[in-house]
Amino acid sequence: MTLLSVRDLHVDFTITNSAPWPWQTPDKVRAVNGVTFDLAAGKTLGIVGESGCGKSTLIRAIAGLATPTGGTVHLDGKQVNYLDRRNVLDLRRNVQMIFQDPVASLNPRMTVQQTIEEPIRQFFPKRSAADRKARVTELLDRVGIPQRNANRYPHEFSGGQCQRIGIARALAAEPRLLLCDEPVSALDVSIQAQVMNLLRDLQREMNLTLIFVAHDIGIVRHISDDVLVMYLGGMMELGRARDVVRNAQHPYTQALLSAVPVPDPDVKVIPQILTGDLPSPLNLPKGCFFQGRCPHAVAACADARPALRDINGAQVACIRAEEVVAN
């Protein structure tokens, strides 16, 4: 069953000080450009791409933290109306976020008990104080934080422990969808594995649906069922995680995979170095967004933005995908 359906989603940000005179049109940052996907209940979608590719903006728009300028978002078959207060409150409960900086995402003035109890008070006001305390104890146990630490403050914990507390706070709302915005990028490698394993265990136990954002496609492939590769806010490739990793169709996906370290000295991987910088989202290139850095680009790539095509089971936005894979 499809839990989340996103159709042709666009998110633009207006730079107000770019037009000092009333008759001038202000510049717009086009952060998300026509993203479409479906996510089944209980599954995980991984979203990867360089910094500035619109990954975080996309999930913030889904959560209602950034207002879409076009397209639709359906949650459990119902279109999300970001202007309807009651609709947004339902969205807040059903869709929770786990943020990149585990320490900064916690209120330094609140204890762990207060932090996790706050969403319970908000979304389940009829629960008694004893029920709320029991629920906090249960959540702390699930994420591996001893109950004796419930009266401590965030600065008394490590980064990995703070992220576990952030996960417990998100689960307190009893959401159906967890949006994980690079939740392990600020953690040590060993702690990254622990947090990812925790998320997978919680997903199985609570039938959660996840969107997992990361720069490293090597991390995403271990936790995701499907992978969406983004570049300049647009979709480059979307497919099953194992298929995308083993047989990437888009040149950009291939470049991301070539940058993943291989822990075997006998395996020689030649990284595909992308030349040039990421173009400005203020002035998107005509045609394929990736053409200026693509080693396989031809003149036709500048004519029009390529539509997604079904190639070997994946949705790929590249007019030369079959040639690239063959070579």
At 192 the pLDDT is: 87
Please, what is the Cα angle at 198 between 193 and 199, to 5 degrees? 100
At 89 the pLDDT is: 82
Q: How far apart are the first and last CA of the chain?
A: 38
Give dist(CA 3, CA 179) in Å, integer: 13
CB 223 within 8 A of CB 237: no
At 277 the pLDDT is: 75
CA-nearest of 133, 204, 198 to 163 is: 198
At 269 the pLDDT is: 63
Give dist(CA 300, CA 294) in Å, integer: 13
At 81 the pLDDT is: 80
Alpha helices in the chain (DSSP H): 55-63, 85-94, 112-123, 129-143, 159-172, 189-206, 217-223, 241-246, 251-258, 321-326
pLDDT in tens, the chain (327 residues): 899 999 999 999 988 777 777 777 788 889 999 999 999 999 999 999 988 899 999 999 999 898 899 999 999 988 988 777 777 888 889 999 999 888 899 999 999 999 999 999 999 999 999 999 999 999 999 999 999 999 999 999 998 999 999 999 999 999 999 999 999 887 888 888 889 999 999 999 999 999 999 988 888 888 899 999 999 999 999 999 999 988 889 999 988 888 776 665 665 666 676 777 778 888 888 889 998 888 888 888 988 899 999 988 899 999 888 776 656
At 216 the pLDDT is: 83
The Cα-based distances of 216 to 47, 212, 278 in angstroms read: 10, 11, 17
How many of the other CB atoms lie within 10 Å of CB of 313?
Answer: 11
Q: What is the reported pTM? A: 0.91
Architecture of domain 2-248: 3-Layer(aba) Sandwich (3.40)
Place of tokens 């709302």: 173
Tokens of 15: 């730079």
What letter would DSSP give residue 250?
S
Give dist(CA 38, CA 80) in Å, integer: 15
| Residues 6 or more apart whose Cβ sits within 8 Å of residue 257 | 217, 245, 248
